[in-house]
Amino acid sequence: MKALKSWVLHRQLDSGIELLVDQQHVFCISVLEEKLFRVLIQKNGQLALNRTWSIAPTGDVPWAGRSRLSMDGFSLPAFQLTQSDTSLCLSTSQLRVTIDQPLRLVWEYCDAAGEWQHLAEDRAQHAYQISPQGSGVAHYQRRFAADDYYGLGEKAGDLNRKGRRFEMRNLDAMGYNAASTDPLYKHLPLTITRHEGVSFGLFYDNLSTTQFDLGNELDNYHLPYRRYQAEAGDLDYYLMLGPQVLDVTKAFVRLTGKTLFGPKWSLGYSGSTMQYTDAPDAQQQLSQFISGCQQYAIPCDSFQLSSGYTSIGGKRYVFNWNRDKIPDPQQMSADFHAAGMKLAANIKPCLLHDHPQYQDLTAQGLFIQDSVLDQPEMSVYWDDEGSHLDFTNPATIAWWQDNVTTQLLEQGIDATWNDNNEYEIWDRGARCHGFGQAMTIEQIRPLMPLLMMRASFEAQQRFAPSKRPYLISRSGCAGMQRYVQTWSGDNRTNWQTLRYNIRMGVGMSLSGLFNVGHDVGGFSGLRPEPELFVRWVQNGVMHPRFTIHSWNDDQTVNEPWMYPAVSAMIRDVIALRYRLLPYFYTLLWQACQDDEPMLRPTFLDHEHDANTFAETDDFMLGRDVLVASVVEAGQRRRSVYLPDNGQGWYCFYTGQWFGGAQTIELDAPLERLPLLVRAGAALPMSAREAFVAAKLDTERELRLFPLRGMGCSVGVVFDDDGESHAWQDGHALQLNWQMRCDTQYIDVRITVTGDYRPAWTQLNMVLPQGEKRTLRVNGQLAAAFQLPV
């Protein structure tokens, strides 16, 4: 690597400035928004990759990518440029950067008093480095002892990334250690730094293998620093000022694209296991899952069809139905639909060399090509070798979408499960079509799963244009939230995984992936013992994605009824999930509309409370529900720190009130998940404990948790038909509620927006046990709100 040092001002633009560095490299600083700047280096005046697929401030990007130099979608506010003999200063009213000699940047923000305060700065020497002959880039910033680091998406270990080193090199990390394994499945090079009470984000728009060092490395010749390094591509980063962590997360989603608003049924329980479709009588095994749900009264909305349905021998062949295992796919789909369940089928982007269609696709040039030989690249895949589809080739996209339609959707499959899409191609020079502009795989490896899921997404859209698509993907990069729900991959069955998957899910949420979950019960290893299984399900039902999935080493299956002694507990907590589905659905809508994370660390809404930054097993579901999962064997009492929210917290079950800013002990019998609700909240709940069916969901309540003293709180409840796009045209139901409390009355006022009218016609109000104040609804003594006709 060679350091960039001496610079001169090359030119001023409407969007910022360009420097000429070491007489050959162009260093661009763009002012995109008042709190959003961008830094881009063009080595020798050229870009290594002239397009981006992650930056999407105006909606989706073209299939061939968005020009890396495009300013579309940004307001480009006015800025001030001042210059001295040795420095330049570029500023808006909120953020400013000073460029010093030798090349380094110092960042400041304007505080509430109008004073400029230090935010961040590059290392004093050799802050920017590029490879003269190769394609690597690096960026070094100062590291301060009090700084904390969050983000980076799906990472093992503690939520605070401080003091550790990470790599982004998408891997199929089956059976990973949730406390330590790195790298994992996804590529999200976003850090959120909390510096002296203010937060900023750094997003590096680079799709090559990447390393972050956040305090693991020391060098005697430099003050403490943090390091970003990429093996290829451009040094192109966005700095976004919070000032709070939540502001950074929301700004990042606005930068990379809105969260998909999936159908309501996608929030229900989804069954899955490898064992069913691996069995020689797979269709019968799948039928028995339907019977089991009915026998044990387990509500279920979907089933994820693992890849065994495609098998020939012991291997997987995408878009190939094994008719010995599943003689009649359409009948199988019909059986699930009759039970109220949708089907999501597993699909993979690599064809083994003996796949029935391999030679035909080779002739058509649909695979990524070897870097040297005139043939498809060949990679290890599913106990053999195969070639990966090139989704930067429009012909590949068309072939894929045709097969998704004919082999899946026309067979009654409702959704695609885009799996094993890490693209572990280690021939760095393997050639990709690049939509007519050739590129190598080392530049874009995480892009392939993004384009794969988009191809599946659009196929589903075309097949059922009136319905909102639902898709799943394991791997991906920034922007994947535009298309899919995701999860933390093939976890290992043990208590440690349960604990650290919580942090992993919250880390993804802080990094813009709001619709997430885990393989409940553990995917690999021995079956979970009954206590672990109960606690895992209790935790799992409080995540947006709730799926029990397994490939147990002992050939057992994780099913809700696997242990008769605890099956009633499992059934009850799944029923609780379904009763809370109106709350989950409102959260999903808010994630799409307002970029609000569904899973939240306790500090996200309580930054003023320093205690919330301690590592914890607790998390928030929305702003209102504090989930205190039990993650230790034998634990029947749970210590919970209650954030200082100014109003206190209620026990969800008993209605007991607790003040904030204290640690309390809650009973945690095996049959109960400790839950607390913010005072001032109101949770919409359903009486239905069965699969999602809008016409059968006839009862709704608003569970009130009023302020203890005087004050007012507000909130919203959202509902619609649960599957169409009509909500975008106002055909939905939005209830805006206000709850005003004093010593005598609890006054709830509700206003209605939208013309959708659900099967339920009134909203029943439920107060905590022991609440003595009089309830009034829209000024009348009443216990319910009647929807207008």
Cα–Cα distance measured from residue 458 to residue 463, given in angstroms and rounded to the nearest whole number: 9
What pLDDT score does 134 carry?
82
The string of pLDDT tens digits covering residues 631-647 is 999 999 999 999 999 99
Is the model's pLDDT at 324 over the cut of 90? yes
What pLDDT score does 319 carry?
98
Contact status, residue 674 vs residue 736, Cβ threshold 8 Å: no
Is the model's pLDDT at 113 over the cut of 90? yes
Assigned token pair, 261: 């608003």
Identify the CA nearest to 643 among candidates 625, 666, 668, 667: 625
Annotated domain spans of the chain = 2-152+188-244, 259-271+298-484, 693-786
What pLDDT score does 521 carry?
98
Cα–Cα distance measured from residue 563 to residue 556, given in angstroms and rounded to the nearest whole number: 12
Cα–Cα distance measured from residue 451 to residue 446, given in angstroms and rounded to the nearest whole number: 9
Assigned token pair, 768: 């905590």
> Which residue is it, tokens 């720190």?
641
Is the model's pLDDT at 135 over the cut of 90? no
The string of pLDDT tens digits covering residues 444-477 is 999 999 999 999 999 999 999 999 999 999 999 9
Q: What is the dihedral of CA 309, 311, 317, 323, to 10 degrees?
A: -60
Identify the CA nearest to 733 among candidates 777, 684, 772, 690: 684
What pLDDT score does 214 carry?
98
- Please give the C-alpha separations between residue 367 and each of 304, 380, 389, 391, 425, in angstroms, as whole numbers: 27, 15, 4, 9, 12
Cis peptide before 327 (omega within 30 of 0): no
Contact status, residue 497 vs residue 192, Cβ threshold 8 Å: no
Confidence band of 173 (pLDDT split at 50, 70, 90): very high
What pLDDT score does 133 carry?
84
Is the model's pLDDT at 2 over the cut of 90? yes
- Three-state DSSP class for 443? helix
Amino acid 732 reads: A
Cα–Cα distance measured from residue 387 to residue 381, given in angstroms and rounded to the nearest whole number: 8
> Which residue is it, tokens 């990472």?
155
- Name 381's bridge partners: 384
Assigned token pair, 113: 């008093």
The string of pLDDT tens digits covering residues 240-293 is 999 999 999 999 999 999 999 999 999 999 999 999 999 999 999 999 999 999
What pLDDT score does 83 carry?
95
Assigned token pair, 663: 């640690």
Cα–Cα distance measured from residue 289 to residue 301, given in angstroms and rounded to the nearest whole number: 12
Domain 259-271+298-484 sits in CATH 3.20.20.80 = yes
Is the model's pLDDT at 498 over the cut of 90? yes
Assigned token pair, 294: 């009915």
Between CA 10 and CA 19, with CA 16 as vertex, the angle to 5 degrees is 25
Identify the CA nearest to 779 among candidates 745, 752, 742, 754: 745
Cα–Cα distance measured from residue 354 to residue 547, given in angstroms and rounded to the nearest whole number: 33
What pLDDT score does 657 carry?
98
> E strands, 593-655, where?
599-600, 619-621, 625-627, 637-642, 649-651
The string of pLDDT tens digits covering residues 593-624 is 999 999 999 999 999 999 999 999 999 999 99
What pLDDT score does 197 carry?
92
Between CA 101 and CA 240, with CA 107 as vertex, the angle to 5 degrees is 135
Cα–Cα distance measured from residue 308 to residue 551, given in angstroms and rounded to the nearest whole number: 12
Q: What is the dihedral of CA 122, 91, 71, 187, to 10 degrees?
A: 30
Percent of the chain with pLDDT over 90: 99
Contact status, residue 518 vs residue 505, Cβ threshold 8 Å: yes
Cα–Cα distance measured from residue 149 to residue 151, given in angstroms and rounded to the nearest whole number: 7
Longest pairwise C-alpha distance within the chain = 82
What pLDDT score does 383 carry?
86
Q: Which long-range contacts link 661-665 to residues 24+ away (Cβ below 8 Å)?
A: 661/609, 661/611, 663/639, 664/639, 664/640, 665/637, 665/638, 665/639, 665/640
Is the model's pLDDT at 582 over the cut of 90? yes
Contact status, residue 623 vs residue 662, Cβ threshold 8 Å: no
Between CA 111 and CA 119, with CA 116 as vertex, the angle to 5 degrees is 85
Q: Residue 67: which residues within 8 A CB-CB, separation 6 or more? A: 50, 51, 52
H-only helix segments in 404-494? 441-444, 447-463
- Three-state DSSP class for 480? helix
What pLDDT score does 61 carry?
98
Cα–Cα distance measured from residue 732 to residue 757, given in angstroms and rounded to the nearest whole number: 8
- Beta strands 16-21 and 7-13: pairing type? antiparallel
> Which residue is it, tokens 């429009």?
394
Q: Residue 351: which residues within 8 A CB-CB, separation 6 or more? A: 317, 318, 357, 358, 361, 367, 386, 387, 389
Mean pLDDT of the chain: 97
Cα–Cα distance measured from residue 542 to residue 576, given in angstroms and rounded to the nearest whole number: 10
Write the Ramachandran bin of 588: left for phi over 0, alpha for psi from -120 to 50, otherwise beta. alpha
Q: Tell me which CATH code domain 2-152+188-244 carries.
A: 2.60.40.1760
Mean pLDDT of 565-576: 98
Contact status, residue 736 vs residue 753, Cβ threshold 8 Å: yes
Mean pLDDT of 689-714: 97
Percent of the chain with pLDDT over 70: 100
What pLDDT score does 336 carry?
98
Assigned token pair, 574: 């799944």
Q: What is the dihedral of CA 34, 35, 36, 37, to 10 degrees?
A: 80
Mean pLDDT of 354-371: 98
Mean pLDDT of 141-153: 98
Residue 62 gets which letter from DSSP?
Answer: P
H-only helix segments in 35-140? none
Assigned token pair, 342: 């949708």
Cα–Cα distance measured from residue 489 to residue 756, given in angstroms and rounded to the nearest whole number: 37
Identify the CA nearest to 52 among candidates 36, 27, 70, 34: 70
